[in-house]
Amino acid sequence: MGHCSEQRTGFEVTKDWNGADQVAIRSPRGASVRVCLHGGQVVSWRNHRGEELLFSSSKAIFKPPKATRGGIPICFPQFANCGTLEQHGFARNKIWAIDDEAPPLNYGDNNNNKASVDLLLKPSEDDLKCWPHCFELRLRVSLSMDGDLSLISRVRNVNGKPFSFAFAYHTHLSVSDISEVRIEGLETLDYLDNLSQRERFTEQGDAITFESEVDRVYVGCPGVIAVLDHEKKRTFIVRKEGLPDIVVWNPWEKKSKTMTDFGDDEYKQMLCVDAAAVERAITLKPGEEWTGKLELSAVASTNCSDHLDHPGRL
């Protein structure tokens, strides 16, 4: 994982093979998370058996300023190419700082029995030239005793005028075979199809399954959805707050071959399911703060049926 480390309260700071700082968090039962300070990006989430739950491409470029293909990049203040900034905004390409003096969360995220780290991003002079708004973007990454992963982001307007932004946790889930995966919880919802100039459609299926490229923004989504991996008999439970949309993406075969940092056949082992605020921008007045939360759990599929009916922990 690295050749140099520094122990901090609740986490360990290491350096990867490129010399970039990473934060390692471990639960007493063996689950672990690694967060790269380049991009504030979760690059690994393992369960107590050591199984990697997030996808990272074997061809990923782990060197700034290129964002790493995989894990959970932070998309801010723009999603995709819907604006004048670089793809998915600049937050995923910046160096974040460990925030030892993070202010308390405004609502009850109970950090008891959780190991966590707080990160902070502020705009550089170059950032202000291309996006002239002063902000503080805070990220808390936490790992529960049971190995559940939670990310809480806070954006504060420290500007003298309002600004608007988009946000997404660009979550790359590791799956056994995309053709054996289904998403439940998005039935009957409207979505914007990025393969059809963002035309609006209504989901007709009982669940979302995959037979070709998919790039959609589901809008007005419930707080809990499930991603079922039949071959692994594992289900990801995705819980979210403050993020009304879910982005679903798999590049499939043809597009995979056009991406230099993605293997030709790797689309079979991944699926992006992003908690996001994309359709409608979030607007903050001076001094206001927005909070968006994502919680990921990986459970045996036989135990997942109650999660959609009784969202529980969030």
List, in sequence order, every residue forming a beta bridge with 240; answer none if it has no partner: 294
Task: Report the pLDDT value the prediction gives residue 16, as an integer from 0 to 100.
Answer: 77
Cis check: omega of the bond before 286, within 30 degrees of 0: no
Element (H, E) at 27: none
CB 178, CB 210: distance < 8 Å = yes
* Residue 125 Cα distances to 105, 196, 214, 251, angstroms: 28, 37, 37, 35
**What does the buried/exposed string (b/e) look like for 72-85 if buried means 16 or more CB atoms within 10 Å of the residue's CB?**
bbbbbbbbbebbee
Task: Report the pLDDT value the prediction gives residue 157, as an integer from 0 to 100.
Answer: 98
Sorted by where each begins, the domain ranges of the chain are 7-309
- pLDDT (tens, 9 = 90+) of the chain, 314 residues, equals 444 566 565 799 998 777 779 999 999 999 999 999 999 999 999 999 999 999 988 766 666 566 678 999 999 999 877 765 676 688 999 999 999 988 888 655 556 678 999 999 999 998 899 999 999 999 999 999 999 999 999 999 998 899 999 999 999 999 999 999 999 999 999 999 999 999 999 999 999 999 999 999 999 999 999 999 999 999 999 999 999 999 999 999 999 888 876 888 999 999 999 999 999 999 999 999 999 999 999 999 875 555 555 443 33
Q: Please say whether the structural domain 7-309 has been given the CATH code 2.70.98.10.
A: yes
CB 270, CB 173: distance < 8 Å = yes
For residue 171, give both structure tokens.
Answer: 């979550």
Cα–Cα distance, 208 to 178 (Å, whole number): 11
Binding site as annotated, residues for substrate: 69, 87, 92
Binding site as annotated, residues: 69, 87, 92
**What does the buried/exposed string (b/e) look like for 181-209 if buried means 16 or more CB atoms within 10 Å of the residue's CB?**
bbbbbbeebbbbebeeeeeeeebeeeebe
